Structure 1
Amino acid sequence: MKEIRAYIEPFMLSKLTQTLLEIPDFPGMSVSDCQGFGRVKLITGRDFTPYVPKKRIEIFAPDNLVECIFNEVMTVANTHQHGAGKVYVLDVNESGRISTGERGSE
């Protein structure tokens, strides 16, 4: 199992969600608001703040779906502009279902 974590432009969320829901056995995702900056910092107006709004997406997926999900995020969320986002794939060693007490790697 892997975690796919993506930081994308907020206006791309709806389009990406629709695309991911079309993947058979898509496991679901969590979305939260965040702010950050990367190598390129934007200066707008008089006040300098390097932070720009992003959506953080977390998807925990079985290994056989990771490549498909990763590719869809990279393709669909691409705005062809600086700051379009980043995608990470992380190993997940174990998980647990709180309601049932189940533990395991899936």
Structure 2
Amino acid sequence: MKEIRAYIQPFMLAKLTQTLLEIPNFPGMSVSDCEGFGSEKVIERQDYSPFMPKKRIEIFARDELVGIIFNAIMTVANTHQHGAGKVYIINVDEGGHISTGERGADLS
């Protein structure tokens, strides 16, 4: 199992969500608001802050879905402009369902 973690432009969330929901056996996702900046900072206003708003998406998926989900995010969330976002794939050793106590390396 892997975690797919993406940071995207907030206005791309609805389009990306619709695309991900069309993937058979899509395991679901968590979304949260966050702010950050990369190596290139943009100064757009006088009260300068380097932090730009983003949506953080976390998806825990079985290995066979990782490539499909990753490619969907890379394609759909692409604004073709600097700062469109980033996507990471992270190994997950084990997970658990709190309600049932079920544990395993391939839990979704």
TM-score computed with the length of structure 2 as normaliser: 0.97
Deviation digits for residues 50-83 of structure 1 (CA, Å, limit 9, x no counterpart):
0000000000000000000000000000000000
Q: CA RMSD in A?
A: 0.5
CA distance in 1, matches of 2:25, 2:86: 24
Equivalent residue, structure 2, for 1:54: 54
Cα distance in 2, alignment partners of residues 77 and 83 from structure 1: 11
Residue in structure 2 matched with residue 69 of structure 1 by the alignment: 69
Q: CA deviation at 1:99?
A: 0.1
CA distance in 2, matches of 1:45, 1:15: 29
**CA offset at residue 13 of structure 1?**
0.1
Question: Which residue is equivalent to 1:78?
Answer: 78
Calculate percent identity across the aligned residue pairs: 74
Give the 3-state SS of the residue equivalent to 1:24 in structure 2: coil
Residues matched between the structures, number? 106
Q: Structure 1: how far apart are the matches of 2:41 and 2:20?
A: 30
**Partners in 1 of 2:2 and 2:45 — Cα distance?**
41
Instruction: Name stretches of at least 5 consecutive residues in structure 1 with no aligned partner.
Output: none
Structure 1 residue 47: Cα displacement: 1.2
Partner of 1:96: 96
- SS of match in other structure, 2:86: strand
Counterpart in the other structure of 1:17: 17
- Give 1:11 deviation, angstroms: 0.1
The answer to whether 1:36 aligns with 2:30 is no
Map Cα deviations across residues 20-50 of structure 1 (whole Å, 9 max, x no partner): 0000000000000000001221112211110
Q: What TM-score do you get using the length of structure 1 for normalisation? A: 0.99
Runs of 4+ deviating beyond 4 Å: none
